[in-house]
Amino acid sequence: MELMTLLDALRASYPATNSSMVEKAYEFSRKAHEGQKRASGEDYIQHPLATALILVDLKADIPTITAALLHDVLEDTKVSLDTIRKEFGDEVAHLVEGTTKIKGIQFESKEDYQAENWRKIILATAKDIRVMLIKLADRLHNMQTLKYFREDKQKRIAKETLRIYAPIAEKLGMWSIKGMLEDLSLRYLDPEAYQALKQSIAQKRGQREEKTQSLLKEIEDILAYNHIKANTTGRAKYFYSIYKKMKEENKPFDKIYDLIGFRIIVDTVEECYHALEIIHHHWIPWLDRFKDYIKDPKSNGYQSIHTTVFYEDTLLEIQIRTKEMDNFAEEGVAAHWRYKQTERDKKFDTKISWIKQLLAWKSSGDQELLGGLNIDLFGNEIIVLTPKCDPIALPEGATPIDFAYMVHSDIGNHCSKAKVNGKIVPLDHHLKSGDIVEIITVNNASPSRQWLKFVKTSKARNKIRTTLGIEAEDKSSKKTDDQRSVVDYLQIKGKVVPLKISKCCTPEIGDAIVGFYTKDGKITVHAKNCSNVHTLKGNKQAELAWQIAPITEKGIFIITNNRIGLLADVLKIISEERINVKSVRTKEGKYVHLYFTVEIADDAKWDELIRKLRIVKDVIDVRRN
C-alpha cells in the first residue's frame, strides 16, 4: 500500500480538502519508523497507513487521519510529544498522546499495566472520542494481520478484541467495525467452527443470493404498491453473529434461518412506521424479536426498527430506518464529523454518555476496572426512565439499587423502597426497558450487605462497599435463578440484616416461619412448629414474610415444525419445572401452533420455562400468550 492509495480515498471522501497535513504526517511517520519491520516482514509504515485508510472509509476528519499516521511514533520511536505538537499542533498532539501506552512506570503485574493503560485511554476518550476511533482502526488492522504471530499470541489478542474492542465499537455505533472485529476474533479462537461456517455459507451462496434478490424485489413491490419510496438492501450476516446464535439456541447451522438481514431505508420517521405496518400486514411477525429503537434509541444514539417475520420455511430479519439513521448505524460517532461544529456538539453529547460511567473507575482498583469493563460497558443494555422521563442506561438484569446509584450516590445510599411503573417492587427486582423507576429515600436508611448479592453495576457495588467499609472482592455479583436460595424469598420488616436458615428444621418457601435475632445481630429462621423454637423465646422476634407472587394462569404460544414426539418433549419440560398444565390446544398448518394455559407464580420460573422451551428441537418461537 502506498501514500497515493490513501490520498485517492481522501479526495473521494473530501473533494475540497487540502491533503498537505496528511502528506506531511505520512513522511514524518515513515522517517521516524525507518528500519522498523512488522511481523509480516513489511515496512512498519504500512500499519499506520492502513489505520489511516480505515478512518478515511469511516469519514473521519483530517486531524484524526493525521494522528492515525502518527499514532505509534511516541511509543515506538525517539520522537517526543513536544515535537509532534510543534509540527502538527495541539489537536493532533492530544490525539496521538491519548492513544500511546504508558512508558517509564513499573507495575506489579501485566494486568495492572493493562488496566492503567485502559484508564488513560478512557480519560482521553472522554475528552475527545476520536482517540477511541484511532484505537479501533489500529486494532482492526492488527487483527487483519494476526496470522503472522504465534498461536498463543493470536488467541490472547483475539480474546481481548472480542472482550473489549468489539463491544466498544458497538457502544459507538460502529457496526461494520464491530462485525469485522468479531469475525476475525472467531477465526483464531475457534478456527474449526469458523472454517465450517465459511464452508457451509459458501456451499449455498448461489441459492441464497438468488433468493435474496427475489425477496428484495417482493419487498420493493409491496412498498411501491403502497406508495412508499425506499432503498432496500440485503446483506449476509457476520460469521460471529451466526456462530453466537448457534451457541445460544443450541442449533446446527442448517437450523439457523435468518442468515440475511434486509434493510429498508426511507426518508422520514412516519414512513418507517408506515413501512412496518405494511410488512406486518404482508407477513406474520415474530413479536418477541420486535425492537423499536426509534422510539427508544440505544444509549449510543442508534435508531432503527427491527422486526422478524415468517416467510415460507424461513425467517426474514428486517431493519427499517431513515437515511440519517442509516449513516449513523454504519459509521457511528465517526459520522458526526460531517456536521457543522455547533450541530455536531449538540448531537454528539447525547451519544457518548456511557463514557461518563467509566470515569468512576478513577478511584477503583485496577482489577476492579477490568471487571467493570465486562459488566457495565459490554453487557446487553436496557433503557429505563426517571419519573421526569430522563433516560438512564443500565445493563440487562439491573435492579432499582443500580438505578438509584446511577442517578446519584446519595440516592443509592438512602434508598428505602422502589416503585416501578407506580407499584412497589422488591429492591432485587429486574428492570426492563421502558420502566419508569422512582426511588423512595429515608434519611436514616443505609446500604445493606445483602445488596451486593444482586446489584449488577460496578458503580453500585463499589459505592455499597465503600459505605460499608468492605474491601473490594473482584467477585462477580451475577446470580442465576438456579442459585436463588430460600433466604432470597424472605422479606424483613425494619432494618435489613443477614438471615440464616436453621438446619434443625430447614423451612421451605411458603412454610409457616418465625425468626429470632441472635447475639451477633443476625436473624435465624425456623419453621413455626420446630421443636427448638421454645429455646429462643427470650430472643427478640423478627417480623418476616415470604415474597411470593400469587399463583396465576398464564398462556404460552409455541410455533414449531411438525414432528412425532414434539408435544411429548414440550410437556416433559413443563412437567420437570413442576408447572401445572390447565389446557392444551393445537393448530396445524405449515407450522404447528401450540397453545398452553399453565399455573405459575414466580416470574423467574416463567422466564426459565420459556428459555428451556426455546431450545427444544424444531421449536421456532415461544412467546407469552
Which residue numbers are catalytic? 75-76
Please count the helices (runs of H) and the strands (runs of E) in the chain: 25, 21
Cα distance between residue 520 and residue 17, in whole Å:
73
37 secondary structure, DSSP code: B
Cα distance between residue 21 and residue 25, in whole Å:
6
Cα distance between residue 458 and residue 476, in whole Å:
9
Tell me the one-letter amino acid at 213: Q
Q: Phi and psi (nearest 5°) for 498? A: -60, 140
CA end-to-end distance (rounded Å), the chain: 58
Cα distance between residue 611 and residue 606, in whole Å:
9
Q: How far is CA 147 from CA 40, 180, 310, 322, 449, in A?
A: 9, 15, 40, 39, 48
- Burial of residue 170 (CB within 10 Å: 0-12, 13-18, 19+) is buried
Q: Are 117 and 101 in contact (CB under 8 A)?
A: yes
Tell me the one-letter amino acid at 478: K
Q: Are 609 and 573 in contact (CB under 8 A)?
A: yes
Provide the sign of the torsion angle of the four alpha carbons 611, 616, 620, 621, taken in this order: negative
Strands 499-501 and 523-527: parallel
Cα distance between residue 300 and residue 573, in whole Å:
39
Strands 523-527 and 552-560: unpaired
Cα distance between residue 223 and residue 229, in whole Å:
7
Neighbour tally for 178: CB within 10 Å: 23
* 46-57 vs 20-32: helix crossing angle, rounded to 10: 150
Q: Which of 560, 551, 624, 553 is nearest to 583 (CA)?
A: 553
Q: 227 in helix, strand or coil?
A: coil
Enter the C-alpha cell of residue 569: 418433549
Q: For the chain, how many residues are written?
A: 625
For 349-370, letters b (16+ CB in 10 Å) and e give eebbebbebbebbeebebebbb
Cα distance between residue 255 and residue 246, in whole Å:
8
Q: Cell 460511567 belongs to which residue?
A: 357
Q: Which of 599, 597, 604 is nearest to 625 (CA)?
A: 597
